[in-house]
Structure 1
Amino acid sequence: MFDDFMTRATLAGVGVAFAAAPLGCFVVWRRMAYFGDATAHAAILGIALSLTFQVSIFAGALAVALIMALTVTFLSGRGYAMDTLLGVLAHSALAFGLVAVSFLSGVRIDLMAYLFGDILAVSRSDLLVIWGGAALVVALITWRWSELLTATLNEDLAYASGFNPKREQLILTLALSVTVAVAIKVVGVLLIAAMLIIPAAAARSLARSPESMAVIAALIGAVSSLAGLRAAYVFDTPAGPSIVCVAAIIFAAFSLTGMQSRRKLH
């Protein structure tokens, strides 16, 4: 079964959707869209360092994404406006990563594959990394679900409940870094934030509880991956961007349906 490249691509897309969906809900609830963008952009620098020192690209991307996320967490609230800080760090990390890649001699690198994904080239070992990372993210968020939800709603309530919201922020940071590292192969650095935010935003209008929103977001992400791959095959378009386009169309359809429903109620 795993000898067919479309089967591997489908499994990879679904794996990333399952990892990104519950995390994307917290990104939407906490208004952390720029945070996800900054972490994803930093991964290019991690890829360049991985190729330089000949280590696993997953390990390099994960390490640099985690450092970026921890840096943002540390600097926030210390006199820097969050949107300004994230804008500076995100674009600086991307620029330094692209410059670092240009200095690599004797290494053939398909930069477009890392920027926009190359899901059709996913190997069996890539599948193992993607599903292992997805399992870790889902396990982390399931384990700390109630604490993460409480800290998202109200930090004072979290303290009153006996746990530190800063620790929950670190857990989200770790989960975000793992998701970025496993999603690079599927949708690329520039589109990872879209897969985090769009399915979760689309699920928001349908969900009746936080748990149902996470499940619906996972389903939307999986459907987007399947339909995007099919569209890429039929129309000969890039697979990663096609997946994001399908997710955006689903979001637009649900948003219009929700607006019409609210008008009827009024």
Structure 2
Amino acid sequence: MLEDFMTRATLAGIGVALAAAPLGCFVVWRRMAYFGDATAHAAILGVALSLALSISVFAGAMAVALMMALTASVLSGRGYAMDTLLGVLAHSALAFGLVAVSFLSGVRIDLMAYLFGDILAVSRSDLVIIWGGAALVIALIGWRWSPLLTATLNEDLAYASGMDPKREQLVLTLSLAIAVAVAIKVVGVLLIVALLIIPAAAARPLSRTPEQMALFAAGIGALSAVVGLRAAYMLDTPAGPSIVCVAALVFAATSIVGAARSAGA
């Protein structure tokens, strides 16, 4: 069964959707979209370093993404607005990554595949990494679900409950780095944040509880992966962008449903 490239691609898309769903909810709740974008942009530098050092692309992308996220967390509030700081870090890391790739002699690299994803080229070993990373993200978020929700709602309440919001931020940062590393093969660094944010945003009008929103986001993400891949196969369009387009259409539909409910209430 896994010899079929469409089957491998579908499994990869579902795995990334499951990893991105709960994490995307926290990105939406905390308004961390730009933070996620900066982390994703940094991954291309990780790809260049991993190829130069002949190590796993997953390991290199995750290490640099985590370093970027930690750097942004440490430097925030030290004289620069967060959006300015993230803009500088994100585009600097992307530029250095692209320049570093140009210096790799004797290494053939399809840069477009890392920028926009190449889900149809996913191998069995890639599936193991993607599903292993997804399981790790789900385990981390599930383990710290209640403290993360409390810290997201109110940091003072978290302190009063004996929780450390900075520790929860670290868990979220680590999870984000892992998600970026596993998603880079599927949708590429330029579309990773879309897969994080759009399913979660689409699930919001349908949900009454945070747990419902995470489950709906997972379902919407998985549906987007399956339908987007089928559409890409039938219409001969890029697979990664097609997945994001389907997610955007679902977001539009749920937004209309949410608006209709509000008008009828």
Q: If the length of structure 1 is used for normalisation, what is the TM-score?
A: 0.99
d(CA) in 2 for partners of 1:196 and 1:17? Answer: 8
Aligned to 1:171: 171
**Once the 2 structures are TM-superposed, how far is the Cα of residue 163 of structure 1 from its aligned partner?**
1.4
Aligned to 2:140: 140
Q: Which amino acid aligns with 2:4?
A: D
Tell me which moved more, 26-35 or 80-89.
80-89
Q: Report the RMSD for the aligned CA atoms in angstroms.
A: 0.6
Q: Percent identity?
A: 80
Aligned to 1:12: 12
d(CA) in 1 for partners of 2:253 and 2:89? Answer: 34
Aligned to 2:75: 75
d(CA) in 2 for partners of 1:213 and 1:140? Answer: 18
d(CA) in 2 for partners of 1:102 and 1:256? Answer: 46
Gap runs ≥5 in structure 1: none
Aligned to 2:204: 204
Map 1:103-182; keep pairs closer than 5 Å: 103-182=103-182
d(CA) in 2 for partners of 1:147 and 1:261? Answer: 31
Q: Which amino acid aligns with 2:187?
A: V
Partners of 2:47 and 2:57 within 8 A in 1: yes
**Once the 2 structures are TM-superposed, how far is the Cα of residue 72 of structure 1 from its aligned partner?**
0.5
d(CA) in 2 for partners of 1:206 and 1:261? Answer: 10
**Once the 2 structures are TM-superposed, how far is the Cα of residue 78 of structure 1 from its aligned partner?**
1.6
**Once the 2 structures are TM-superposed, how far is the Cα of residue 151 of structure 1 from its aligned partner?**
0.3
d(CA) in 2 for partners of 1:27 and 1:262? Answer: 24
Map 1:50-69; keep pairs closer than 5 Å: 50-69=50-69
d(CA) in 2 for partners of 1:256 and 1:95? Answer: 39
d(CA) in 2 for partners of 1:47 and 1:226? Answer: 27
**Once the 2 structures are TM-superposed, how far is the Cα of residue 260 of structure 1 from its aligned partner?**
2.1
Q: Number of residue pairs matched?
A: 265
Aligned to 2:189: 189
The Cα offsets for residues 87-126 of structure 1, whole Å up to 9 and x where unpaired, read as: 1111111111011111111110000000000000000000
Q: Which amino acid aligns with 1:50?
A: S
d(CA) in 1 for partners of 2:221 and 2:75? Answer: 32
Runs of 4+ in 1 over 2 A off after TM superposition: none
Map 1:187-266; keep pairs closer than 5 Å: 187-265=187-265
d(CA) in 2 for partners of 1:38 and 1:179? Answer: 13
Aligned to 1:26: 26
d(CA) in 1 for partners of 2:24 and 2:33? Answer: 9
**Once the 2 structures are TM-superposed, how far is the Cα of residue 80 of structure 1 from its aligned partner?**
1.4
d(CA) in 2 for partners of 1:137 and 1:55? Answer: 22
Q: If the length of structure 2 is used for normalisation, what is the TM-score?
A: 0.99
